[in-house]
Chains A and B, each alone.
Chain A
Amino acid sequence: MYAQMVDTGAKKLRSPEEMTPEERAFQARVDADIKIEPKDWMPEAYRKTLIRQISQHAHSEIVGMLPEGNWITRAPTLQRKAILMAKVQDEAGHGLYLYCAAETLGVSRDQMVADLHSGKAKYSSIFNYPTLTWADIGAIGWLVDGAAIMNQIPLCRCSFGPYSRAMIRVCKEESFHQRQGFDIMIKLCRGTPEQKAMAQDALNRWWWPSLMMFGPPDASSVHSAQSAQWKIKILSNDELRQRFIEQTVPQADFLGITMPDPDLKWNPERGHYDFGAIDWSELYEVVKGNGPCNRDRLRARVEAWENGAWVREAALAHAAKRAAAAEKAA
């Protein structure tokens, strides 16, 4: 979700007999829920997949600051502005926790940033949609952060220690994000008819992209099976999506707004909500780089990195100069 469609390099799932003794011992540890730590032996494909997954997750946090940052200067009250700044600052923090976790696997921060900027590394499709009105800030907190929590809570139990610990920190903070979003939605839905219409419009635009965040149906994906065996993916895309729908529909009922899906209805036989077909071609287009804001987002990141280069260099030069002076004085 924050990491979608992560390639594991696997062609098929291997049986214990096909594994080397080291791989078997590794898998036994994973099966016994013993965390893998950075210095432990791990299959190269596990390491590479985790770098892809964690860096994609980190990039999503960082790029995710852009659509929300768009509204900081125009938040309706000073308090809303302070809250939104705190939320966006949290996203930066979450990105940093995750970059650190990925770095324990032997990839450098600069390499990860370079891969984002070259388009080699992805970030979540959801951040390629524009935030057109203030209601979008409500919808993002409620739906996007809600979907993120759904995905990240199981990841607290994932097999890689540093990733698991980062997820625990993130989850502790994320609930504030979802609630501040829902609070914005409540205010709008209890406001004027125009304000309520804004809330409905935001839900209309964010609902389907939020469902796509969980990724395509994965029942038959070899990558999902491999990630599940390694316990770096705990629940399937479809399971998470269904849970998200189940949790969110009653919340929309409370707000008095409706999902833009005529096929969405409770199925008493299944004990679940049925919902309409998702247009997967849209997700694939957005992931390919053709969403409404892909180019803007990447340009903003590259510009921030390039414009900050002299600061990073100056700080290093200053530190070196001070260290040299201290050595001379000693």
Chain B
Amino acid sequence: MSREWPLWEIFIRSQHGLAHKHVGSLHAPDAEMAIKNARDVYTRRNEGVSIWAVRSSEIAASSPGEKGPLFEPASSKVYRHPTFFPMPDEVKHI
């Protein structure tokens, strides 16, 4: 059995002005083919105006075990949300 084509993660921008969003992955020998394959696999119904293909091996991800140390500090900082500050009813445009 010969070597498998590398895996690519595919990101599609659905409309101008929106961010690229991860849609899935596929195998391709190089970046050019990854984009061509992504066109066929992920945009058969006009889902996109732009494609990014990134080698899966190049993606660094946080691990589920780090969830606490990474994200818990934010949960106590409720003052980062505007709703933390009740405004008097008579004050407008704020």
Contacts and interface: CB of A to CB of B under 8 A. Distances in A.
The number of chain B residues touching the other chain, given as a range, is 20 to 34
Interface stretch (B39-47, B70-78, B82-90): B39-47
Interface string A73-113: 00000000000001001100100110010010000111000
Interface string A113-133: 010000000000000000000
B27 interface: yes
Given A103-B7, A110-B4, A316-B5, A322 B64 contact: no
Nearest to A314: B29
Contacts of A313: 2
Nearest to A95: B41
A93 B40 contact: yes
B94 interface: no
A173 B44 CA distance: 10
A37 B27 CA distance: 21
The number of chain A residues touching the other chain, given as a range, is 20 to 34
Nearest to A172: B45
Q: Tell me the interface secondary structure of chain A in the complex.
A: helix
Contacts of A322: 30
A269 interface: no
A8 to B, nearest CB: 24
Nearest to B67: A40
A29 to B, nearest CB: 11
Nearest to A40: B64
B64 A315 contact: no
Given A96-B41, A319-B30, A39 B4 contact: no
Interface in A281-330: 309, 312-313, 315-316, 318-319, 322-323
Given A96-B41, A318-B29, 18 more contacts: A37-B64, A41-B64, A89-B40, A96-B26, A100-B24, A108-B4, A109-B4, A109-B27, A110-B1, A165-B24, A309-B2, A313-B2, A315-B5, A315-B33, A316-B3, A316-B5, A318-B30, A323-B30
23 contacts: A89-B40, A90-B44, A93-B40, A93-B42, A93-B44, A96-B26, A100-B24, A100-B26, A109-B4, A109-B27, A110-B4, A173-B44, A173-B45, A312-B2, A312-B5, A315-B29, A315-B33, A316-B2, A316-B3, A318-B30, A319-B30, A322-B30, A323-B30
